[in-house]
Every structure is written in structure tokens, then in C-alpha cells.
A and B are shown apart, each in its own frame.
Chain A
Amino acid sequence: MDKMSQLLKLLEKTDYIEINEFRMDFEELELQLMPAVQKVVQQAVTKQAAVQETMKKMEAIEFTPPIKDYPGEVAQVQLGAGSRKPVYLGGQQALYRFEEPQPNPPVVTFDVFDIPMPGLPRPIREHFADVMEHPGDWAKKAVKDFGANMVTIHLIGTGPKVMDKTPRQAAEDIEEVLQAVDVPLVVGGSGDPKKDPIILEAAAAAAEDERCLLASANLDLDYKKVAKAAVDYNHAVLSWAITDINMQKTLNKYLMKEGLTQKDIVMDPTTCALGYGIEFSIDVITRTRLAALKGDKDLQMPMSSGTTNAWGSREAWMKNDAWGPTDYRGPIWEIITGLTMMLCGVDIFMMLHPLSVQLLSEIGSTFTKEYLTTDSPDISNWITELE
């Protein structure tokens, strides 16, 4: 290409040539330029002037982030005391991080069972097959290998139709797990409304002053007994209602009448899994968190999600070649279920798969950072960089 064609090519693609700096050159050139080029140069000059004017106008437009004031705040609940490293939930005074970063990152508590649980999906079992006989080893693996912030020990074996373990045996299982790890515990029953309060009471006594979360109190069982066990032995209580904000308020009120305070209660508004009514949970959890920030004292507690429910979804576990391997579907189902709840305001997640826990924790940890304080990669050339 000769010089002229090069210049033409250059001008044709350029908006921003610094005409001023090159004026001398252009004047010299001008004498030899073809009329067409002169036109291009003139156009470029006019364009440049227009662009400058646009820029000036643009700079006059300022952006103010849409930040709100909230009259209420979520109570901060401490889990773990005594020989446990404490974990804190809640404490939010705003809805989003650009308004005010969350004081505490979301917490993941790993599900551990007091019996080997043959029914667990294969992608989970394969990670824990070697430790399922001993809840202590299971808990240790969850914490050491998979970075769990907490452990939930489900005393499934106490179920009258399972192994009908006695309160004494339940207490022994709790002691085993307490010895094995130094993270806080959630203690869950078998789901039997008659026996759970008795089991939780025995577990609470065995873990006195360790500040566990007793799971759970609901309106279908003797919640007074659960509340009393928490007050007597210094624990917190999971207040569980089924996707019903009024039921949740009522239960919280009842629990507070029994001597618990906002700082002793974590709510479980029920997590319906992805594809199985997750939208109901989205609505209830969103409304609950908004109510708390607006000042409703009966709902100003942190929230928990039984994210493990995701594994009940057939897309998570059912073998079906047209859907791809369950090895991948299962974890994604759990992550998206938990993540969706997290974005609505949930603070603590009961989960099963190591990869789900890792990804959820990664996103959750960004919530405590200030807006635009993370080094972000340059993505301005993504159109060509993506392979």
C-alpha cells in the first residue's frame, strides 16, 4: 500500500485522530491530497468537534447509587461457644452490599448422620463411604477436607421406625461429634414429632454451653420443651414454618414467650427445591427479610435453608441419559437451590455436596466486600477472547 492509501484507510476507520498535534503534517500533506481525502479530513474534524461536545454533555450527567435507609435490622445470632470456634449469622442493616456490606458471610453447615444412610445419592455417598459408620469421622471429613463452617448432625437413628435409638444413645453421638470437630453444631432429630423434643433435650444437655442450633421447633410438636432445653443449656433454636409468613411470626412469638430472644432464634421458612416450588420460597424469604428491615420485630432473625431438599428433585438424582450424568446435575441442583435462597436473604445453608458447598461459599464471601473493591479482570475484548 502506498502512503496515501494507508492514510485513507486510517482516516476511514478513525474518529479520534489528534488533528491539532499533527497540524503541520496535515498542512504539508494538504497540498498534495486528493479532494476526497480533504473531505474525509474535514469530516473527521467536524466529527471530532461533535464528539467533544457529546463528551462534554455526557460528563455533566452524574450517577447516584440508589441507596435506601432501613429502620430495622436483623439480629446477630452466635452459634458455637465453649470449645467451639464461634460463627455469627445475621446482623444485616441493609438489603444489598452496595448499600452496606453484610457483616457476616453466609455459612454452610454440612449434613452428617448418626447412621450410614444407604439412601443418600451416589454422588454424595462416594465422598463419605469410608466414614459413614462413625458420625465423628464423617464430621471431621466434612470440616477438614471440604471446608464446612459447621456440621449438622441429624439423629435419624432415633426415629421409632428407624433404629429407635434412646436419648442416651443420641447424647453419645453428640459427644462423639463434639470431640471430633471444633466447629459449631446444628442438632437435628428424626422428624418424629413425639420423640424429637425428648431427643433434642438430651442432646442439648450433652452439649451444654456449646451453643448449638436445635433443629427444630415447629407448631406440630412440643416446641416449649425444645425452647426450654435451649434456655437451660445455652443453645439457639431453629424456628421452622412451612412457607407461611404468618405461621413463622406466630411461632417466633411463642418461642420468645418461652424465654428465647431474637438472638437465640434462626428461622427456617422452608426451602422448596429448584423446580419444585422454589418460587414459593423466593417470595416468602424475600418478604420475611424485607419485613425485618422495615422493623417487624417478630421476623428480625437470620434465616436457614434446608438446601439438601434439592437432592429430592428427580432431575438431581434420576438416571436419564437424555439429561446427562447425575454427577453434574446433582451438585448444580443443590447450588442453584441454595444460591437462589441466598440471594433472597438466607444466612445459613444445610448442604451435602462438596462442590456445591465450595461454589456457594465463594459467591457468599463476596457479600461482605464493598462495591468495586475487588480486582476485576479486563473483559473489554471478550468477543474475541472467548474460545
Chain B
Amino acid sequence: MQVTAMDIYRLLPQTNCEDCDAPACGEASCMAFATKLSEKESQLGLCTELSEESFTKLEALLAPAVREITIGTDDKAITIGGDEVLYRYELTYYNPTALVIDIADNLDDAEFAERVKNIEETEFERIGEMLTLDAIALRNASGDAVKFAETASKLKNAKLPLILCSFDPVAMKAALEKVGNERPLIYAVNEANMDEMAALALEYDCPISIFSPNDLEKMKQISRTLREKGVQDIVLDPGTFVGEGIGDSLDDFVMIRRLAVEERDDDFRFPILGIPALTWIHEKDEVQGGIKEATIAATLMNKYADVLILHGTNIWELIPVLTLRQGIYTDPRKPQAVDPGVYEFGEVGKDSPVLMTTNFALTFYTVEGDIKGKTTAYLLVLDTEGRAVDVSLAGGQLNAEAVADLIKETGIEDKVDTRTLIIPGLSAPASGEIEDESGWEVLVGPRDSSGVPGFLEDLKGKS
């Protein structure tokens, strides 16, 4: 269960730092600080008045339901886990699912270099954000320890953190001797290699993953054993069964997360790892495989996967997975809106066209991406309380009066000599009323803003 501000307040000094003008936590009162802490918007360490005992208690209280774990070091580090809730609307999901691509240790040099480059350079820009991959999973496909270690060394120069995949402790040790100081994720411990792998995790201070396919009882047992040995940073892989078995995998993922969040079962309070790459063991067709792998990835990401190891690197397969991640991990507490007003694109002048859209962030950044650098225009952004064009039209936030007010408030009439407003295609039903209310001529633009530059070109041709 989520910790309330009241639970936290009880353990705070409750002095409100009365004698101090500038409390270290930056809040007006202990209650305000407690609220911020409960919403994970402040740090416990900021409070200077805490006794050691209270600090320890609060630290345990504030520990997220799912432990936060870092893979990699310095600028090559990613953090996974940290979630508090089962449903994102209850708070938010923290730390987006890490998307990892596998690489085999038995590729020839050219193939290897090509694949690393491909992983590092994959990017996709969406609504003002650059979406990229997060890590490389090196597979001991050769079964050879020396080869595994040599290939791990080659990845020292890679831009992304590593997951080392082998069930053989000898191979794992060999690889850790090369890259153990970079905090790779050790994958994986099972019943047979438990003691050696645990020892390696402790020796090199690396996080370690448990592999216990479709057996949560065994998972719990191994987790408890690792914890008793002093291993703290654990990742759970309950097995990814593609095809019919995906139902079981979903159940396993959900049970693990429910045990962590609702029952605070310490053996399960860890990030979950899934391997959509397993699709390719039986599927050889590149297109079918890519579509299936993306489907499995989306399934597991929707239900709590914190790390996913993928095999396919085709951009058409990765774009939807990256996009889903961007959506799921937006913070529902923050309005997805930009400031209303007037925005300028290019060297605008007295005869520049005037466009209009809503202040829904998704809409705004989409439009911005479509016109920036491609055309010259003023863009009026209407406050629709962060709603999209069609939704705000139906909901009444996008209406003639509001548009007329926007024209006045932005002072656009002083900036241009023209009196023509281009509205989004989806808001066409309001065009007449907007004309009446604003006195401007209204042109209905394209339904999709990717058509705006072409639309403006055509207009120029006509005038």
C-alpha cells in the first residue's frame, strides 16, 4: 500500500523549522515536506533535524515497493524499478522499462561491430523527445568462457551498459574480471549455480537476475537465499513464454508485482525482466518474428516488465514499442499541456500565415515537429485544458468565443496584416462560428498536421 503523507509526518521532527528562515527541505512546513515525500517529489536527506533512528525508520517507510536498481556506472547507467503502485493512475510508474538488445559472443568481428553500432544509433523522435535503446545483453552463445570474456572486453567501449548472460559461473567470472567494475547485470542465477553466482555478485557488487521459469515458489526460495547471503540488488525473470504460454508469463508478472506492491513480500520487491527475444527460437521469418516480438514486448511492458531483452533491431518493430513506453510512463499527475499563446516558426513577417492548434502536449509537439524548419508561420495555441482537437471540440473547450479571445489576447492582429486563420482539419465543424465570432476568414487545414507545409505551399500558389 502506498505510504500516506500522514504516516511520514508522524516521523518527521514536526518543528516546521520555526527558528529558521530557510528550511533545508525548502518547504513551508513539515506537513508540506511530508506530502512532497509521499509523492516522491523531494528527498528525505534534505531534512537536517532528523534523529538517526527516525531517519532509518523513514528510509524503510519510503523505500519503494519495488527496489530501484542501477545497471552500469556514471554516464553509462540506467535505473530500473522504483514502482509503488499497480495502476499508473494511482500515482505514476517510475523508471521506464529498459529496452535491451541481445548480442551473441560468437559473431564475427564485422557482424559484431555492425550490431553494436545499430543498437547504439537506434533513435526515434516523438513529440519533442528522442527515444533510444538502453543496454546491450551479451549472450554466451559460444558456451566458451574465454570467448565470453573477450567479447565482454570489446563492449567496454560501447555507449550502453551491459547485461552478461550465462548460466555458467566460470564464464561469468571470466567476463566479470574484464568488465565487473562497470556494474553489469549478472544474468542469471538458477538453482544449480546459486552459490557461485551469488558470490560473484557480492565480489563485484553487481545486480543479479534470478531465472526461475514458471515457478514462483522456486523464485521465492532463491530470492530469500540470495538476500540472506547479503545480495540486495535482484532482478526477477519468471520466464517469457511466447505463443500459448504467454498467458502463464502474464500471470507470473502480475503475481510478482502484486506481491511486491500489495503484500510487501520482500522476496518479490524487485524489478521484473522479460525476454521477448525468445520469439526467435521458433520463428525464423523476419517479418512475422518482428511483429510477434513487438507484440510480446508490448504485452509484458503493459504488465510490469522493468527490463526487456529483444533480438530484432528493425526500426519498424522498435518504434511501436518505444512509443508504448513513452505513453505508459508519462506522469498522470502532470497535465500534458503546453502554455497557450502565440509561437513563431521561421522568419515571420506581416504576411505570414496564422495557424491554430490546441495546447494538448501531444498535439502541440506533433504540429511543432511538422512545421519547424519546414515552413514559416505563426501558431496560435488555444488553452483546451490539455485536450486534443477532436476531444476539446466535443467537450466545448475549443469553441468560437475562445478562439476569438485567443486572437485578441495574443495581439496577433498587430503582428500580421492578414486576417486569415487556418484551423485543424478535425475542427472543421466550428469553422463558421469562428468566422462569425472573430471576424477573421477561416480556412480548414489538413486533418493531419504533416500536411501543413504542403497546404501552405498550395495557398501561396493560389494567391
Contact = CB atoms under 8 A, between A and B. Distances in A.
Nearest to A98: B251
A61 B226 CA distance: 13
- Which label, helix, strand, loop or mixed, suits the secondary structure of the A interface? helix
A328 B258 contact: no
B303 A383 contact: no
Contacts of A54: 194-195, 225
A31 interface: no
Contact of A275 (B225, B326, B448): B326
B411 interface: no
Name the residue in A50, A323, A382 with the highest tally of chain B Cβ atoms < 10 Å from its Cβ.
A382
Contacts of B255: 65-66, 98
A306 to B, nearest CB: 13
Nearest to A371: B251
Contacts of A15: 192, 195-196
Contacts of B9: none
Interface stretch (B66-74, B288-296, B345-353, B371-379): B288-296
A382 B167 CA distance: 10
Interface string B205-233: 00000010110110111101100000000
A355 B291 contact: yes
Contact of B280 (A329, A384, A387): A387
A284 to B, nearest CB: 8
Given A58-B222, A314-B448, A366 B246 contact: yes
B88 interface: yes
Interface in B314-335: 314-317, 319-321, 323-324, 326-328, 330, 332
A104 interface: no
A322 interface: yes
B138 to A, nearest CB: 10
Interface string A157-179: 00000000000000000000000
A122 B130 CA distance: 29
Contacts of B259: 66
A374 B141 contact: no
Contacts of A70: none
Contacts of A96: 250-251, 254
A35 interface: no
B241 interface: yes
Contacts, number: 216
Interface residues of B, number: 88
Contacts of B250: 96-97, 343, 366
B54 interface: no
Nearest to A218: B394
Nearest to A382: B278
A366 B244 contact: yes
Interface stretch (A138-146, A196-204, A225-233, A331-339): A331-339
Interface string A357-385: 00100110011010110111101101111
A61 B252 CA distance: 18
B324 A332 contact: no
Contact of A328 (B141, B287, B311): B287
Given A220-B394, A367-B247, A376-B214, A383 B195 contact: no
B316 A329 contact: yes
B434 interface: no
A277 B388 contact: yes
Nearest to B293: A332
A322 B311 CA distance: 20
B76 interface: no
A329 B319 contact: yes
A63 B315 contact: no
A386 interface: yes
A307 B173 CA distance: 49
A343 B305 CA distance: 14
A58 B217 CA distance: 9
Given A97-B247, A336-B298, A58 B320 contact: no
Nearest to B215: A63
Interface in A312-333: 314-315, 318, 322-325, 328-329, 331-333
Contacts of A220: 394
B316 A323 contact: yes
Contact of B320 (A282, A290, A322, A336): A336
Closest 9 CB pairs of A and B: A324-B316, A366-B247, A63-B217, A58-B221, A283-B89, A376-B245, A98-B251, A275-B323, A336-B298
26 contacts: A15-B196, A61-B224, A63-B217, A66-B255, A66-B258, A96-B250, A98-B251, A242-B394, A242-B395, A276-B388, A279-B327, A290-B87, A315-B320, A328-B290, A335-B298, A339-B302, A343-B302, A362-B244, A371-B247, A371-B248, A374-B248, A382-B278, A384-B143, A386-B139, A386-B281, A386-B311
Given A335-B291, A344-B302, 16 more contacts: A54-B194, A58-B221, A58-B222, A63-B216, A66-B262, A242-B394, A274-B320, A274-B327, A282-B302, A286-B87, A323-B315, A328-B314, A332-B291, A336-B324, A359-B292, A376-B214
